[in-house]
Amino acid sequence: VCQPRRISPMSGVILTPGQDSPCLARCSTALGDMVCKGCGRTFLEVTHWSIMADTERATVMARLAACLQPAEV
């Protein structure tokens, strides 16, 4: 599920070793959203990020990057 999101200076900040976090420090999952309006991750992806394998994080990052691509007409 792709959510509209803005790129901010916080994107790409390494919060844990390995894969950079897409966190924009505007998490709406803390407010009950199942998909963060800031970074586009699901609640489970946000809460499990620090324990996910780098390959799992890379899969999430690829999905988020695909969401930023223009839609095909």
- Predicted confidence (pLDDT) per residue in 28-55, tens digit: 988 899 999 889 999 999 999 989 999 9
Q: What is the pLDDT of residue 10?
A: 46
Q: Tell me the pLDDT band of 1, cut-offs 50, 70 and 90.
A: low
DSSP reduced 3-state for 63 = helix
Which has the higher per-residue pLDDT, 17 or 22? 22
pLDDT at 7 over 60: no
What is the reported pTM?
Answer: 0.67
Report the alpha-carbon distance of residue 19 to residue 36 in Å, rounded: 19
| Per-residue confidence (pLDDT) for residue 16, from 0 to 100 | 47
C-alpha dist (Å) from residue 56 to 20, 26, 48:
12, 22, 10
